[in-house]
Amino acid sequence: MLHYSVVFFVIALIAAVFGFGGIASGAVEIAKILFFVFAVLAIGGFLVNLFKKR
pLDDT per residue as tens digits for the range 13-34? 898 888 888 888 888 888 889 8
Identify the domain containing residue 10 by its residue range: 2-53
Domain count for the chain, please give it.
1
Q: CA–CA separation, 40 vs 47, rounded Å?
A: 11
1-10, 17-26, 41-50 — most confident range = 41-50
- The band of 36, judged by pLDDT with boundaries at 50, 70 and 90, is very high
- The CA distances from residue 48 to 35, 45, 52, in Å, are 20, 5, 6
**How many other CB atoms are there within 10 angstroms of residue 7's CB atom?**
14
